[in-house]
Every structure is written in structure tokens, then in C-alpha cells.
Structure 1
Amino acid sequence: MSQIEITDVSVTFDQKNRTINAVQDVSLKIETGEVYGIVGLSGAGKSTLVRTINGLQKPTKGTVVVNGVDITKADKKALAASRKKIGFIFQNFNLINNRTIGQNIAFALTAGGYPEKKQPQKIVELLSMVGLQDRQDNYPAQLSGGQKQRVGIARALANDPDILLCDEATSALDLETAEEIITILKDINERLHITIVFITHQLEVAKDLFDRVAVMENGKIVEQTTAYNLFANPKSNMAKRLVNRFLDEQLPDEVKDRLKDQQGVILTLKYQGDDSLDPVITEISSNTGVSISILQGRIEYIHSNAIGVLAVFITGDQNAISKAVAQFTQKVDMVEEVAR
């Protein structure tokens, strides 16, 4: 059995004479020790879905089973026991401002029934895990956003959970600080073998952290895949939108305007692996007699596997251009003509 099994879950809200279908017939399985991402735009239903895992949101229908316990049917005692093994990391930190960092963590330890005499040592251990062992006497206002989120991680680990739920845990941070948080979470996952469920709209997180990912749109799961395949070969329209936005495959309007009066074809080429496309471009240009100009390109690494995106402008005889396009289609993973 998977550590988390969500089966046919729907969540509806009644508001001012209308029904909102926040989550619709979602089913997914999350395995022990993996980092599972749920991505989508704001309002997709990500947060509502994740809150069904720890019972903060009761499904309108369907079941949620965590560590063999049916959360949707558990009594108060069983639900409290299950929640104790599920840590939660918030988007906006949710620290108690008039308590020190050490006191914030002590509050979580006390709430979980941790012995008071052992708390000082446990607080040091938790803060050391996130690199803040020298800041336990500081107050939240004395910390940066990234440091506050580190405290949030330490607090979420207070009761030795085997699952961490992360609700947009990096979206309030700048890119560099978000990468630091991702590194800490990866280390925690690898060292402690804690299952992480992370919801976000930022694909920067997906490429560096997730093992598998679900894409949500309008309360539904529209795609489930590995993190690499999400970028290499997105299937759903929403996944394609998110990936295209991240890879920035769109040519700037200025480039399109500069080329609009020239005869030729603009192609977006996507390929997998570290090999450069330079030999392919040279070969196709030589075979067909066309001229090929590189307009823009980038390479991203997803779990150490490369994905390249290149935009080229092909000019020449129309028949030769058609042959060149056909040859690119045979030699790279994806070819798409860019409308001008």
C-alpha cells in the first residue's frame, strides 16, 4: 500500500447561492520517501487537496488513507495521532512574533507531548538541521524571510513526522533564497527518508526537488508524470503552459517584428541529452542548402538529465525549407513552427 492514497476525492463549498467545486474526483498515490509535487495556477485547488491529507479539510466525497488510516473516517483520537506524524510548512511562515525562535519550536514540541526536560537539546538539534543553531534567542522580526522559513521547517520536524506537507513554501522568497530552502528539503528527504508533498506554481521548484508531479487545473488532476517527463514531454494543455512559461520558449515580439518581412520559417526545437545541436544544424544546412540562424536557446537540467530548447530561423528555397523541417523532425524530439 502507498503511504498516501487519495481516491475519488471531491471538495465543494457553498457560497452565496452557488457551489464551488474546489477539488473534483482526484485520485493519486504517493509512495514512502518520495518528493511528490502538485503544480498549477492559483485557484487550481492545490491547497484544498493537500489539506485533506492531514484532515484540515474534510472531503465532500472520496477517501484519504495515510499510513493505513482512513483520515476521512478517523475519530478525534486517531486523527490527532495521524496529524502528529504529518508536519506542515506554510507559505507565510506562521511564526509567533512575540516568542523567540527557540520558544516557537518549544511550543510545537509541547503541543506534540515532547518532554519539557528534553526540549532544549531537541531545539538545538532541529535548528542545527536548518543551519540556525545560533539564532534560537532571536525573535522572528530579526530574521530574513529565508531564515523564517528555515524555522518553519525546523518546527514542522519537531515531532519527528514521516510526512511533510509544504504549501507554497518558497513563493514568498526570492529565487536564490528559494533554492536554499529546496536544498534543505532535499537533504532532509535524503537523510530522514521523509515523504514530502509540495504544492507550488513555480516550476523552478519542480525541476530541482520533485520525483513525481501532478498537474492541477480547475480542481482536477490533468496529468501525472515524473518531473523529467513534465519538462521533456508535457501532455496536458496546462502542463504545456507551465513548462513553456518556465522554459520561456516564446520569442520576444521584437525578434518576430524584425523577421516579419523576411521569407523563411521560425522553428522551436526541443531535444533531450547533453549533445549540442550544432552538428545537426550544420548537417541539415549542408544537405538542403538552406541558411539556419540561431535566435535563442537554453539548456535545463532535471535530475541531472538535460533538456535543450532552441529557436532557429530557416531561409532559402521553399522546397529546401520543407526538406530541412522534415529532417529536423526526424532528428530532434520536438519541432514546432512559430507563427509570425
Structure 2
Amino acid sequence: MSQIEISNVSVTFEQKHKQIEAVKNVSLKIEKGEIFGIVGLSGAGKSTLVRTINGLQKPSQGTVVVNGVDITQATKKALAAARKKIGFIFQNFNLINNRTIAQNIAFALTAGGFPEKAQPKKIDALLDMVGLKDRQDNYPAQLSGGQKQRVGIARALANDPDILLCDEATSALDLETAQEIIAILKDINQRLHITIVFITHQLEVAKDLFDRVAVMEAGQIVEQTTAYRLFADPQSSMAKRLVNRFLDEQLPDEVREKLRGEPGVILTLKYQGDDSLDPVITEISSSTGVAISILQGRIEYIHSNAIGVLAVFITGEPSAISKAVQLFTEKVDMVEEVAR
């Protein structure tokens, strides 16, 4: 049995005499120890869905089973016990401003029934895990955004949970700081074998953190796959939209304008693996007699696997161009002609 099983869950809200379907018939299975991501644009239903896991949001229909406990049918006592094993990391940190960092964590420990005398040692260990052992007497206003989120992580770990729920935990941070938080979460996952469920609209997070991922759109799961396959071969229109925006396959308007009147074809090539496309380009150019100019390109690594995206401009005789396009189609994972 999976650690988290969401079965046919829907969540409907009443708003101004209208029914809003925030989540529509969603089913997911999340395994113990994995880092599972839920991605989508704002309003897709991600936050509502993840809150059904710890019972903060009751589904209108369907079931949520966590560690064998049916969260949707649990008594108050059983739900409180289940929540002790589920930590929550918020987007906006949610720290108590008039308490020190140590006192913020002590509050979570006390709420979880942790003995007061043993709290200082536990606080030291938690802050050491997130690299803030020397800041426990500071107040939240004295910390940077990244440091505040580290405190949020330490607080979420206070009661030794086996699941961490992260609601856009990096979206309020700059890219470099977000990478630091991602590194901490990966270390926690590997060291403590904690299951992490992370919702985000940032594919930078998906690339670096997730094992598997679900794509949400308008309250529904439109795709489930591995993080690598999401980038290498997205299937749903929403996944393609998110990936294309991340990989920035769109040619700049200046390049399009410059080539508008030129005879030729623009292709976007996507390929997998570490091998460069240079030999393929040289081979196709030599065998067909076309000229091939590289307009832009990039390589991303997802779980140590490479995905390359290249835009090229092919000029020459029409028949030779057609032959070159055909050869690219045979030798490259994905070929798309770019309209001008």
C-alpha cells in the first residue's frame, strides 16, 4: 500500500451562490520516501488538493488515506495523531514575529507534546540541520527570506514527521536562495527518508527536486510522469506549455523579424543525452548541400540526464531543405518547424 493514497477526490466551494470545483476527481498514489511534485499555474487546485492530505481541507467526495489512516473519516483524536506525522512548510514562512527562532520551534514542540526539558537539545539539532544553529536567539525580522524558510523547515520537522507538505515553499525566494532550500530538502529526504509532497508553479524546482510529478489544470490531474519524462516528452497541453516556457524555446522577436523575408526553414530540435548535435548538423549539411545556422540552444540536466534544445535556420534549394528536415526527423528526438 502506498503511503499516501488519494482516490477520486473532489473539492467544491460555495461562492456567491455558485459552486466552484477547485479539485475534480483526482486520484494519486505517493510512495514512502519519494519526492513527489504537483505543478500547475495559479488557480489549478494544487493548494486545495495538498490540504486534503493533512485534513485541513475536507473533500466533497473521495477518500484520502495516509499511513493507513482514512483522513476523510478519522475522528478528531485520530486526525490529530495523524497530523503529528505530517509537517507543513508554508510559502510565507508563518513565523511568530515577537518570538525568537528558538521560541518559534519550541512552540511547535510544545504543541506536539515534546518534553520541555528536552527541548533545547532538540532545537539545537533541528537548527543545525538547516544551518542556523548560531541564530536561535534572533527574531524573524533579523533574518533573510531564505533563513526564515530554513526556520520553517526546522519547525516542520519538530515532531519527527514522516511526511513533509510544501506549499510553494520557494516562490517567495530568489533563484539562488531557492536552490539552497532545495538542497536542504533533498538532504533531509535522503538522510531521514521523509516523503516530500511539494506544490509549485516553478519548473526550476521540478527539475532539481522531484522524483515524480503530477501536472494540474483546472482542478484536474492532466499528466503523471517522472521528472525527467516531464521535460523530455511532455504529453498534456499544460505540461508542454510549462516546459516550453521553462526551456524558453521561443525565438526572440528580433531574430524572427530579421529572418522574416529570408528563404529557408527554422527548426526547433529537442534531443536527449550528452551527445552534441554538431556531428549530426555537419553530416546533414554535407549530404544535402544546405547551410545550417545555429540560432540559439541550451542543455538542462534532470537527474543527471541531459535534455538539449536547439534552434537552427536551414537555407538552400527547396528539395535539399526538405531532405534535411526529413533527416533531422530521423536522427533527433523531436523536430518542430517554427512559423515566421
Normalising by the smaller structure, the TM-score range is over 0.9
Tell me the distance in 1 between the aligned counterparts of 2:220 and 2:303: 27
Cα deviation 1:25-78 (Å, max 9, x = unaligned) = 000100000000000000000000000000000000000000000000000000
State how 1:88-167 maps to structure 2 within 5 Å: 88-167=88-167
Q: Distance in 2 between the 1:69 and 1:325 partners?
A: 56
Counterparts of residues 18-33 of structure 1 (less than 5 Å): 18-33=18-33
Correspondence for 2:324: 324
For 2:249, the aligned partner's letter is: E
Aligned twin of 2:47:
47
Residue identity in the other structure for 1:42: S
Paired with 1:188 and 1:222, the residues of 2 have a C-alpha distance of: 29
Mapping for residues 1-340 of structure 1, pairs under 5 Å = 1-340=1-340
1:265-306 Cα distance to aligned partner (Å, 9 max, x none): 000000000000000000000111100000000000000000
- Distance in 1, matches of 2:198 and 2:319, equals 50
TM-score normalised by structure 1 residue count: 1.00
5+ residue gaps in structure 2? none
Residue 17 of structure 1 deviates from its aligned partner by 1.3
Structure-1 separation of matches of 2:48 and 2:103? 30
Determine the C-alpha separation between the residues in 1 that align with 2:287 and 2:321: 11
1:158-210 Cα shifts (integer Å, max 9, x gaps) = 00000000000000000000000000000000000000000000000000000
Shift of 1:226: 0.1
Identity %: 86
State the AA in 1 paired with 2:332: V
Distance 1:14 1:144 in 2: 38
Partners of 2:157 and 2:318 lie apart in 1 by: 63
User: For residues 69 and 288 of structure 1, what CA distance do their matches in structure 2 show?
Assistant: 64
Deviation at 1:339, TM superposition (A): 0.5
Secondary structure of the corresponding residue to residue 134 of structure 2: coil
Give 3-state SS (helix, strand or coil) of 2:300's partner: strand
Aligned-partner SS, 2:62: strand
CA distance in 2, matches of 1:293, 1:323: 16
Give the aligned residue type for 1:210: F
Deviations 1:81-102 (A, max 9, x none): 0000000000000000000000
CA distance in 1, matches of 2:223, 2:326: 30
Residue-by-residue CA offset, 1:218-246 (whole Å, 9 max, x unaligned): 00000000000000000000000000000
1:216 partner SS: strand
**Could you tell me how far 1:143 is from its partner in structure 2?**
0.1
Secondary structure at the counterpart of residue 309 of structure 1: strand
Which amino acid in structure 1 is aligned with residue 234 of structure 2?
P
Name the TM-score, length of structure 2 as normaliser.
Answer: 1.00
The runs of at least 4 consecutive aligned structure 1 residues that moved more than 6 Å come to none
How many aligned residue pairs are there?
340
Which whole-Å CA distance do the structure 2 matches of 1:30 and 1:287 have between them?
Answer: 50
Distance 1:53 1:209 in 2: 20
Superposed CA RMSD: 0.3
The secondary structure found in structure 1 opposite 2:127 is: helix
